Amino acid sequence: MSRMSSKVEKNTTPHSSTSDDDIRKLEEDYQKLLEESQNLINERTYLETEIRTLKKRTTRLDDEVRLLKTPPLIVGHLQDILDERTAIVRSSNGTVFQVALNQRLEPKRLKPGTRVALNQDTLAVIEVLHEAWDPMVSGAEMVEKPDVSYDSVAGLDEQIQTVREAIELPLMEPELFSKVGIVPPKGILLVGPPGCGKTLLAKAVAHQTDATFIRMVGSELAQKYIGEGGRMVRELFSLAKEKSPSVIFLDEIDAIGAKRLDGSTSGDREVQRTLMQLLAELDGFDALENVKIIAATNRPDILDDALLRPGRFDRIVTIPLPDPKGRLAILELHTSQMSTSRVKIQPLVDKTEGFSGAELKATCVEAGMIAIREKRGKVTQKDLMLAIERILLKKSTSGITSSPDALYG
């Protein structure tokens, strides 16, 4: 009996081992199928995400195509609202039209001066545009302070003191004026020949104060189309108010501030309209607002009298050609930054009578170039004297007089 039992056990052991192998193989196949299933699920999720992304991109591209096919609109400004259906608008080229209004626009958004988009064919007002500064105006704001301090402005101590009292003090300590009971100056006019430091002094003000500094050249405000110059002046002062405390520097103000004459051309009349807008903005300023104006010109003889009266430019600061003391200070300032050898300043001062500050700087630069041409590392007295001769020769051949003070006498 025991022999038979042993025989049965021998016969069943291989069969059991085969079953275990089959089970393990099935389990392995099952795990592989699970992994493949999970991979397929992941791939399906990825593809669904890709499909959604592509659908969004397709929708965006369809919108762009539809936008590109849309006819362009003309930018204009509302002049007046006649009734709920019609208005007067001025297009970008200055022409004025009576047009229809889009009835879906909110009436409270339609005000004179509002920027609007006009249909190219009918000139009907299609939509109201958000307000935006003219690029020329917004680009006039100096983001970085100029690297020019009052120490860099030599020979103008009295003028610097006047500018600081008229511009800096009202911005930094306005309570002093309120305590005394006087109105601080609105602005100053810098007058002097070219190259005497008017722009340099304005840059020093921008460096010294924490105020926003906005620089605009007068010729940039003289526009071709009717009303454009006045609009830019309005935007310039609006930007200054929004960014206050701020300082507006109008360089070459004579480009728009010349005396008004009878019988002028249409271009002259547009410049005069720009001047009238500038006068209106100057008069409209609240005395305690943190906006100050610095203007500069080398032709004060042609400025309109209305521009020069007190209450607009309260201080007129004359910046003449530097005297011997001023030339000494300017030459010492520039030569101190150079590598020199045995340079005596006083002979240079005596030889540069009638030189402006810019010409004195040009003299030092020319002396440095002479040394560089000769492969030397230091500037000598001879280099500076030769540079003075070259500047004098250039002045004589270009027709520049040695004494432009005749314009300012």
Q: Is pLDDT at 8 greater than 50 in this prediction? A: no
Domain finish residue from 318, 353, 388 = 318
Give the rounded distance of the alpha carbon of 135 from its chain centre: 8
- State how far the alpha carbon of 142 is from the alpha carbons of 111, 139, 148, 172, 206, in Å: 31, 8, 13, 19, 9
DSSP one-letter code for 251: E
Q: Residue 403: which pLDDT band, with cuts at 50, 70 and 90?
A: very low
The reply to whether 295 and 150 lie within a common domain is yes
- Which sign does the torsion angle of CA 161, 294, 254, 314 carry? negative
8 Å CB contact between 253 and 221: no
**Rounded average pLDDT over 247-263:** 79
Task: Identify the H or E element spanning 323.
Answer: none
Q: Are 213 and 246 in contact (CB under 8 A)?
A: yes
* Pairing assessment for the beta strands 141-142 and 212-217 based on DSSP bridges: antiparallel
DSSP string spanning 126-192?
Answer: EEEPPP---HHHHTTEESSPPS--GGGSTT-HHHHHHHIIIIIHHHH-HHHHHHHT-PPP-EEEEE-
Structure tokens at 293: 């104006």
What's the mean pLDDT in 368-378?
A: 91
Angle between helix 357-373 and helix 381-398 axes, rounded to 10 deg = 120
The length of the chain in residues reads 409
Span 383-391, average pLDDT: 90
Q: Is the peptide bond before 245 cis (omega within 30 degrees of 0)?
A: yes
Check whether residue 278 and residue 370 sit in a common domain: no
For the domain that residue 117 is a member of, what is the CATH number? 2.40.50.140
291 beta partners: 246
How many other C-beta atoms are found inside a 10 Å radius of the C-beta of residue 334?
A: 20
**Comparing 43-47, 129-133, 357-361, 401-405, which segment has the lowest mean pLDDT?**
401-405
Structure tokens at 214: 């906005």
Q: Which domain holds residue 288?
A: 137-318
Kindly tell me if the per-residue pLDDT of 260 is higher than 80: no
253 and 209 fall within a common domain:
yes
- Tell me: do 157 and 279 sit in the same domain: yes
The answer to whether 221 and 347 are in contact (CB under 8 A) is: no
Least confident of 4-18, 168-182, 185-199, 291-305: 4-18
- Residue 181 scores a pLDDT above 70: yes
How many domains would you assign to the chain? 4
pTM summary value: 0.63
Predicted pLDDT of residue 154: 80
Q: What's the rounded Cα separation, in Å, for the pair 204 and 199?
A: 9
Question: Largest Cα–Cα distance in the chain?
Answer: 146
Would you call 349 helix, strand, or coil by DSSP? helix
**Within this chain, do residues 273 and 220 fall inside the same structural domain, yes or no?**
yes
CA nearest to 153, candidates 330, 297, 318: 330
DSSP per-residue string spanning 66-83: HHHHSPP-EEEEEEEE-S
Regarding whether 314 and 284 lie in a shared domain, the answer is: yes
Are 59 and 167 within one domain? no
202: tokens are 């304005």
Same domain for 183 and 307 = yes
Dig out the tokens for 206 from the structure. Answer: 């921008």
Boundary of a domain, candidates 70, 91, 120: 70
What value does the mean pLDDT take over residues 67-72? 74
For residues 388 and 350, is the Cβ–Cβ distance under 8 A? Answer: no
Interval 345-362 mean pLDDT: 89
Q: From residue 344, how far is each of 278, 323, 336, 383, 387 by CA, in Å? A: 49, 18, 12, 12, 15
- Regarding whether 343 and 252 lie in a shared domain, the answer is no
What percentage of the chain reaches a pLDDT higher than 90?
8
CATH number at residue 340: 1.10.8.60
Residue 249: closest CA among 290, 299, 198? 198
The reply to whether 84 and 60 lie within a common domain is no
Residues 87, 33 share a domain: no
Residues 37 and 60 in one domain: yes
